[in-house]
Amino acid sequence: MNQLLTQTLGLPRQQKIGILAGLIIFLLVIGYFYVYLPGDDKVTKLGEEITGVRGDRDKKKALSANLPKLQKEAQEWDAKLKAAMAQLPNRKEIPDLLSSLSTKAREAGLEILLFRPRAENFQEFYAEIPVDIVVRGGFFNAVTFFDEVGKLNRLVNIDNIDLKNPKVGGDQVALEISTLATTYRFLDEAERKTVAEEKAKAAAKK
């Protein structure tokens, strides 16, 4: 790898620029086709699944007082509900999730220039939590970071990847990479009620 980089750095300036442009295009392709995680559509589907599973589970529990078979089925529905809800953390788990994102960026060898959560955007049963992220590092460091984000068991949507200010230093090209990472959390009953009331008031004003 070092020999290849040495040979690359020894190339004429025009060829270096061509190689750098190719790397940037490749990173954009990685971001769109590989790193990009389904956002609103998957959250909506997951929410419907949670609602349906929760209803079926509660029905099973109501009928399972003295029926071992139904008790077993109720336990299975509990497991399915936990698996679905594991992808949508509650309010208390959000700081840990955001911390894990910044940790993974550092572990990938990236310098964090900006990590700023925006205000939550409330939907019917979940809240979107956008986070502006700007990091600096090598091409492969960025790919490693995006790959690790894709392996998280939480829903995290990577969007608006922007690369700029490439600088050749030593044996690698350092890039400034900005992106919008959006994660989600499940609203509790009180929050869902508040959202419904606000929507009703807004509809009444129209």
Kindly report, residue by residue over 70-110, the tens digit of the pLDDT.
667 767 776 776 666 556 666 667 788 888 888 999 999 99
What is 13-44+88-205's CATH topology?
A: Alpha-Beta Plaits (3.30.70)
User: Looking at the whole model, is its pTM more than 0.95?
Assistant: no
Q: Which residue type is seen at 149?
A: V
pLDDT at 33 exceeding the cut of 60: no
Q: To the nearest whole number, what is the mean pLDDT of the chain? A: 75
Q: Which residues on adjacent β-strands are paired with residue 117?
A: 131
How far, in Å, CA of 27 to CA of 107, rounded? 19
**Domain segments of the chain: what residues?**
13-44+88-205
What pLDDT score was predicted for residue 191?
83
pLDDT tens-digit map of 149-200: 888 877 888 888 888 888 877 677 788 989 998 888 888 888 888 888 888 8
Which has the closest alpha carbon to 84: 154, 23, 176, 158? 154
Q: Is 119 helix (H, G, I), strand (E, B) or coil?
A: coil
Q: How much is the average pLDDT of 27-45?
A: 58
Name residues whose C-beta falls within 8 Å of residue 6's C-beta, 6 or more positions apart in sequence: 171
